[in-house]
Structures are given as C-alpha cells and as structure tokens.
Amino acid sequence: MKFKINNGSIKQEEEVIELEQLLASLELMGEEPLQSRSIYLFEEIERHVAIKISRQIDLINQLDDELELVEKDYVREPINIFIDTYGGYVSAGSSIITAIKRSKTEVNGIVTGNCYSMGVPILLACDNRYATSLSTFMIHSVSVELIQSTSLTGYKHSLESTEMLQEIIKGFFKRELDGKSQFYDDIVDGTKDVYFDSYKAKEYGIVHEVDYEYKKDEPKPILENKKTDVIKKKPLCRKWKTKTNK
C-alpha cells in the first residue's frame, strides 16, 4: 500500500515511510489491518497467546496513530476480539486486559461460543461487549496448581498468592460492573463452577447485547465509554432474525 504526499514535505514523507514500515510488520504477522481488524481468542489463555494478541492490538493502534497524521479526516475503526475460550492463566489474561485498556482505538468483545474463567475479565475489559444466544459463560474462584514435592512454605506461598489474585480479580469485576458484583462474591465464596447463558450475562452487566452479529453498514448504539465519556459508535452489529426473541 502506498500513500500520496500532498505537499511533498520531508516530515510528511518520513511519516509515510514509518507507516509503510508498520504495515510491513503487520503483514509479517499474517494480518490485513486495513481490511480486517479481527482478533480471535479461540484457545487457552497462555503466555504466547497474550504476546500475540497484545502485539496485534498495539500495532493496530500504532497504525491508527500514523494514519491520523497522514489523513486529516481519518476515523479509527474498532478492533473486534472474537472470544471462544475455556480460560487460562491469570497472568496471561492480565496482559491482554492491559493491552485492551491502553488501546486508544475502541475494542469490541464478541463472544461466539464459550467464555469461561479468565475469558470473562478479558471480555469485561472491552469497550462494547456482545454475545450470541448460543454462548455460555462460567465464573469460578482462582485455582492454583500445586506440585507434590512443594514444601510447606511453598504451599503457604501458593495459597497467599492465590488469595491475592482472587482479590485483584474481585476488584476488577467491581470496577468494570460499577460496583454491582454481589453475584461474583457469591460465586467465589462457593466451591462450584457457576455456568450461565448470554441473557443472564446481560442481566449481570457482563454483555451489553445478545444475538448480534458483525455488520458495518448499520448504526451502532451510543454506549458509555470510559475512554471518552460518551461517544458515538461506528456501525458494528445487527440483530439476528430468530423465531423467538427474549
């Protein structure tokens, strides 16, 4: 992709060169950022997955920063993260959450299948949150893997770190759900994994809309965005036609 230089200035030419270098980096990742801004979280949340997704989000933001300098009326298109995961490591999930939160470009979370365990906080980090009626959710307390040969001190340390992570996750839920997290407190105080459907997730505030699909040519609703108070959303979704609507 080539960009025209309107005034031929050295500064703008440098900006174009930087932009082309950035596009080359994205192409090496197998992405087509100007045609598709879709990221897929369809596997266990581990370190290598966090690195890949965080890098994608950061590079798309860099691309948008450069395009804003080159194109006067450039409008950022949202990043869409499609989620179907059984969860994974808290540390890896936290890295993805950090990348989403620091993204200047809006991020949409779209659950297409399962959103279990660490997948739920990642979804909560997104600016707009959607799910299909076929999606399922699961929340539980933070778990820890103990090695049999671990000493008593090691067991105590693992327990302390797990309790600390639990409090961090609880605090995150409270912040993202505006303090309405009693349901989560009830869950983590129990011993069972708690499963619920998309409509219950909407009731809890975890998702904004159910039975929506990706579509660019229709208006998006106006939702609160913590990055810019209230902003007008760009086209994203339309309701599916179903036999029965709840």
Which is higher by pLDDT, 221 or 232?
221
How sure is the predictor about 163, in pLDDT bands with cuts at 50, 70 and 90?
confident
**What letters, b where the CB count within 10 A reaches 16 and e where it falls short, cover 213-230?**
eeeeeeebeeeeeeeeee
Tokens of 109: 């979370």
Q: Is the pLDDT of residue 56 over 90?
A: yes
- Determine if the pTM surpasses 0.75: no
For tokens 């959607």, name the residue. 130
pLDDT of 103 reads 97
- List phi, psi (to 5°) of 7: -105, -5
Mean pLDDT of all residues belonging to the chain:
76
Residue 88: left (phi > 0), alpha (psi -120 to 50), or beta?
left
pLDDT of 234 reads 39
Q: Is the pLDDT of residue 188 over 70?
A: no
How sure is the predictor about 228, in pLDDT bands with cuts at 50, 70 and 90?
very low
C-beta separation of 114 from 86 below 8 A: yes
Q: Is the pLDDT of residue 222 over 80?
A: no
